[in-house]
Amino acid sequence: MSPPLLAETLAETTRAEPRGTPVVEPGINRQYLDADPERWKGVFEREGRELFDRRHEIIDALQLTPGDSVADVGAGTGLFTMLLAERVGRAGRVYAVDISPTFIEAIQARAAASGLDNLVPIVNSQQTVSLPANSVDLVFIADTYHHFEYPQQMLDSIRKALRPTGRLALIDFRRLPGFSSGWIMRHVRAGQGQVIDELEAAGFTLVATVSGCKTNGFKFYRQ
Ligand SMILES: C[S@@+](CC[C@H](N)C(=O)[O-])C[C@H]1O[C@@H](n2cnc3c(N)ncnc32)[C@H](O)[C@@H]1O
């Protein structure tokens, strides 16, 4: 059985991965822009994918309150969007943000079928999250940071969208030589140390690490 997810106060003094100039993958998102949501639902929402298997624990670890306003950036087929919308309730709001128009259309249809009326769909560009300024308590980014082709621009716009007490929750593949699979080493451009550096350069501070996931790292940041 997997260990429970546990929020820990930050006590990291060492970072295993080398740091360096970010290398952002051009065209990494080509496959999503006109994607078939049903096909990708089978990829994102399947048993054996850690984020799917642990989805409820991940949502619990976010410690949301009914009425919160949340953005699911890189919403994909809506795996987390739907759970977030249920968690914040009718008084809350979830922005489903993705660069893929077909994914966002599918999420809208899914929300309508589930009777969820607290969801705001946004098709954004690669450079900006397209959220109103000062609008969200939490930005949630799952398995998407390594897909940002313009991470600094995205992070700048995310900072503007966050309320002063807002949090950024980032969950993404660990990229550790000797630990991560060959596919992850090729597909994911940066290890944890570099990602922390990029977030800090954009004005965020790492405040907590959530342990318990194996192939993914899960961290909270504040401005
Ligand atoms: C691997 S999928 C993850 C989907 C979802 N978060 C999940 O875990 O099931 C990455 C998603 O990020 C989206 N994406 C990539 N770059 C983005 C950006 N700059 N802003 C918003 N979405 C982006 C892609 O279109 C894709 O839907």
Q: How far is the CA of 115 from the centre of ligand 1 (A)?
A: 24
Could you tell me the two tokens for 97? 């943000």
**Domain locations along the chain:** 6-17+25-222
140 lines ligand 1 (CB under 6 A): no
Give the pLDDT confidence of 171-194 residue by residue, as tens digits: 999 999 999 999 999 999 999 999
32 lines ligand 1 (CB under 6 A): yes
Nearest to 210 by CA among 5, 4, 2, 3: 5
31 lines ligand 1 (CB under 6 A): no
> With respect to CATH, is domain 6-17+25-222 assigned 3.40.630.30?
no
Give the pLDDT confidence of 121-150 residue by residue, as tens digits: 999 999 999 999 999 999 999 999 999 989
Structure confidence at residue 27 as a pLDDT band (50, 70, 90) = confident
